[in-house]
A and B are shown apart, each in its own frame.
Chain A
Amino acid sequence: MTPFDMIPLQWAWGIVLYWLLLGGASLLARHVSGLVTDLIFPLSALGALVMALVGGSALILPVSHFILPIGLPDLPFHLRLDALSGFFLLLLGSAAFGVTVYAMGYFRSMADDQVGLLALWFNLFLAGMALVLLADDAYAFMVAWEVMALSSYFLVTTDHQIPDIRRAGFLYLLIAHVGAVSLLLCFGVLQGGHGAYTFDYMRLAEMTPFWASVAFLLALFGFGAKAGLVPMHVWLPEAHPAAPSPVSALMSGIMLKTAIYGLLRITFDLLNLQIGWWGTLALGLGLLTALYGVIFAAVQSDMKRLLAWSSIENIGIIVAAFGLTLIFYTDGKGGLAALSMTALLYHALNHAFFKSLLFIGTGSVLHATHERRMGHLGGLMRYMPWTAWLTLVGALAIAGLPPLNGFISEWLLLQAFLLTPGLSQPYLNMVIPVAAAAVALAAALAAYVMVKFFGIIFLGQPRDPALHQAREASWPERLGMLWLAAGCVLLGLLPVQVTAALAPVVRLLTGQTLVNDGSWLVLAPVSAERASYAPLIFFAVVAVVLLLTFVWVRKVYHGRIRRADPWDCGYLEQDARMQDTAEGFGQPIRQIFEAFMRVERERPDPFDRKPRYSSASLDQIWFVLYEPIARLASWVSDKVGRLQHGRIQWYLIYSFATLIFLLVFVTR
Chain B
Amino acid sequence: MTLSLTYHLQVINLLAALLLLISFAMLSQRRIVGLITLFAWQGAALSASTAIVAWSTGQHHLYYSAALTLVLKVIAMPWFFYRLVKKLDVDRDVEPMINIPTTMLIGIVLVIFAFNLAMPISQMSGTVMRSTLGIAMATVLLAFLMMITRSKAIPQVIGFLAMENGLFFAATSATYGMPLVVEMGVALDVLVGVFVLGIFFFQIRETFDSLDLKHMEKLKEK
Q: Which of B113, B144, B213 contacts A647 (CB 8 A)?
A: B213
Which residues of A in the span 635-657 have a Cβ within 8 Å of any Cβ on B? Answer: 644-649, 652-653, 656
A663 at the interface (CB under 8 A from B): yes
Contact at A646–B220, with CB atoms within 8 Å?
A: yes
Query: B219 at interface (Cβ–Cβ under 8 A)?
Result: yes
A109 interface hit (Cβ, 8 Å): no
- Is A28 an interface position by the 8 A CB rule? no
Interfacial residues of chain B within 141-167, with CB under 8 A of chain A in the complex: 144-145, 147-149, 151, 156
Please indicate the chain A residues that have their CB under 8 angstroms from the CB of B145 in the complex. Answer: 656
- Nearest neighbor of A656 in chain B, beta-carbon distance: B144
Contact status A653-B148, CB under 8 Å: yes
Contact B117 A646 (CB under 8 A): no
Q: Is A659 an interface residue (CB 8 A)?
A: yes
Whole-angstrom CA separation of A660 from B109 in the bound complex: 12
User: Which residues from chain B contact A648 at a C-beta distance below 8 Å?
Assistant: 156, 213, 216
The complex places the Cα of A646 from the Cα of B97 at a distance, in Å, of 16
For the complex formed, measure the closest distance between the CB of B169 and the CB atoms of chain A, giving whole angstroms: 17
On chain A, the residues within 8 Å of B209 by CB distance are none
The answer on a CB contact under 8 Å between B147 and A646 is: no
Q: How far is the CA of A660 from the CA of B138 in the complex (A)?
A: 12
Main secondary structure of the interface of B (DSSP, over half): helix
Give the distance to chain B from A318, nearest Cβ to Cβ, in Å: 47
- Chain A residues 518-557 with CB under 8 Å of chain B are none
- B148–A649 CB distance below 8 A: yes
Whether B217 and A647, one on each chain, are in contact in the complex, defined by CB atoms closer than 8 angstroms, is yes
Specify the chain B residue showing the minimal Cβ separation from A652: B148
Chain B residues lying within 8 Å of A667, measured Cβ to Cβ, are: 117, 120-121
CA distance A648 to B144 in the complex (A): 13
Also in contact, A647 and B214, with CB within 8 A (given A653-B148, A656-B144, A659-B144): yes
**B92 within 8 Å of A (CB atoms):** no
**Which of A645, A647, A653 lies at the interface centre, i.e. has the most chain B CB atoms within 10 A of its CB?**
A647
User: Could you tell me the distance in whole angstroms from the C-beta of A139 to the nearest C-beta in chain B?
Assistant: 36
A659 to B97, CA, bound (A): 21
Taking the closest CB of chain A, its distance from the CB of B90, in whole angstroms, is 17
* Chain A residue at smallest Cβ distance from B119: A667
CB distance from A663 to the nearest CB of B (A): 6
- Chain B nearest CB: distance from A347 CB in Å? 51
Q: Say how far B76's CB is from chain A's closest CB, in angstroms.
A: 25
Query: Which of A646, A652, A660 lies in contact with B217, CB distance below 8 A?
Result: A646
Residues in chain B near residue A646, CB distance under 8 A: 216-220
Q: How far is the CA of A241 from the CA of B92 in the complex (A)?
A: 67
A663 near B148: Cβ-Cβ < 8 Å: no
Chain B residues in 8 Å Cβ range of A649: 97, 148-149, 151, 213
Bound-state Cα–Cα, A644 to B97, Å: 19
Per the bound structure, the CA–CA distance linking A656 and B106 in Å amounts to: 13
Chain B: minimal CB distance from A654 (Å)? 10
- Chain B residues with Cβ under 8 A from A647's Cβ? 213-214, 216-217
Q: Closest A-chain residue to B156, C-beta based?
A: A648
Q: A649-B97, A667-B117, A667-B120 are in contact. Are A644 and B221 (CB under 8 A)?
A: yes
Q: From B144, which residue of chain A is reached at the shortest CB distance?
A: A656
Report chain A residues within 8 Å CB of B214: 647
Bound complex: CA A437 to CA B217 (Å): 65
A145 to B120, CA, bound (A): 50
A659–B147 Cα distance when bound, in Å, is 14
For chain A, the bracket of interface size reads 10 to 19
Bound state CA distance, A645 and B221, in angstroms? 9
CA distance A647 to B217 in the complex (A): 6
**Could you mark each residue 602-621 of chain A with 1 if its beta carbon is under 8 Å from any beta carbon of chain B, else 0?**
00000000000000000000
Interface residues on B, range: 20 to 34
CA distance A659 to B219 in the complex (A): 26
Contact across chains for B217 and A645 when beta carbons are under 8 A apart: yes
Q: Report A-chain residues with C-beta under 8 Å of the C-beta of B220.
A: 644-646
Contact present for A656 and B117 (CB under 8 Å): no
CB distance from A300 to the nearest CB of B (A): 41
Contact flag A652-B147 (CB < 8 Å), given A644-B221, A645-B217, A647-B217: yes
Name which of B120, B121, B144, B156 has the most chain A CB atoms within 10 A of its CB.
B144
Complex Cα–Cα for A652 and B216 (A):
14
* Chain B residues near A656 (CB-CB < 8 A): 144-145, 148
Q: How far is the CB of A650 from chain B (nearest CB, A)?
A: 9
**Using Cβ atoms and an 8 Å threshold, which residues of chain A touch B144?**
652, 656, 659
Q: When chains A and B are docked, how far (Å) is the Cα of A667 from the Cα of B145?
A: 21
A223 to chain B, nearest CB (A): 38
Smallest Cβ-Cβ distance to B114: which chain A residue: A663
Which residues on A sit within 8 Å (CB–CB) of B216?
646-648
Q: Which residue of B lies closest to A660 (CB)?
A: B113
Determine the distance from Cα of A663 to Cα of B170 in the docked complex, in whole angstroms. Answer: 15
Which residues of the partner chain B approach A659 to less than 8 Å between Cβ atoms?
A: 144
Chain A residues near B113 (CB-CB < 8 A)? 660
Give B44-71 interface residues, CB cut-off 8 Å to A: none
- The minimal Cβ–Cβ distance linking A92 to chain B, given in whole angstroms, is 46
Closest to A641 in B: B221
Q: Kindly identify, within residues 125 to 146 of chain B, every residue whose CB is under 8 Å from any CB belonging to chain A.
A: 144-145
Q: Which residues of A contact B221 (CB under 8 A)?
A: 644
Q: How far is the CB of B120 from chain A (nearest CB, A)?
A: 6
Within 8 A of A (CB), among B84-128: 97, 113, 117, 120-121
- Specify the chain B residue showing the minimal Cβ separation from A647: B217
A539, chain B: closest CB distance, angstroms: 68
User: In the assembled complex, how far is the CB of residue A631 from the closest CB belonging to chain B, in whole angstroms?
Assistant: 21
B16 to chain A, nearest CB (A): 20
Q: How far is the CA of A647 from the CA of B148 in the complex (A)?
A: 10
Report the minimal beta-carbon distance from A404 to chain B, rounded to whole angstroms.
59
Bound-complex Cα distance A652 to B150 (A): 11
Interface residues of A in 552-599 (CB under 8 A from B): none
Closest residue of A by beta carbon distance from B137: A663
A262 to B144 Cα, complex, angstroms: 53
User: Complex formed: what's the CA distance from A378 to B214 in Å?
Assistant: 68
Whole-angstrom CA separation of A660 from B114 in the bound complex: 10
Q: How far does the alpha carbon of A649 sit from the alpha carbon of B151 in the complex, in Å?
A: 7
Q: Which residue of A lies closest to B213 (CB)?
A: A648
B121 to chain A minimum Cβ distance, whole angstroms, is 8
> Which residues of the partner chain B approach A644 to less than 8 Å between Cβ atoms?
220-221
* Minimum distance in angstroms from B43 CB to a CB of chain A: 22
Least CB distance from A135 to B in Å reads 41
* A644 vs B216: C-alpha distance when bound (angstroms): 12
CA of A644 to CA of B213, assembled, Å: 15
Which residues of A lie under 8 Å from residue B156 when comparing CB positions? Answer: 648
Shortest Cβ distance from B81 into chain A, in angstroms?
A: 19
Central interface residue in B120, B147, B149, B219, by most chain A CB within 10 Å: B147
Cα-based distance from A527 to B145 in the complex (angstroms) = 85
CB distance from B47 to the nearest CB of A (A): 26
A398 to B62, CA, bound (A): 83
Return the CB mask of B6-40 against A: 1 if under 8 Å, else 0: 00000000000000000000000000000000000
Q: Nearest chain A CB to B217's CB is how many angstroms away?
A: 4
Q: Which residues of A contact B (CB under 8 A)?
A: 644-649, 652-653, 656, 659-660, 663, 667
- Give 3 nearest A-B pairs by CB, closest first: A646-B220, A646-B217, A652-B148
- Please give 17 more A-B residue pairs, beta carbons under 8 A apart, in addition to A644-B221, A667-B117: A644-B220, A645-B217, A646-B216, A646-B219, A647-B216, A647-B217, A648-B213, A648-B216, A649-B148, A649-B151, A649-B213, A653-B148, A656-B144, A656-B145, A656-B148, A659-B144, A660-B113
Q: List 24 A-B contacts (CB under 8 A).
A: A644-B220, A645-B220, A646-B216, A646-B218, A646-B219, A646-B220, A647-B216, A647-B217, A648-B156, A648-B213, A648-B216, A649-B97, A649-B148, A649-B213, A652-B144, A652-B147, A652-B148, A653-B148, A656-B144, A656-B145, A656-B148, A659-B144, A663-B117, A667-B121
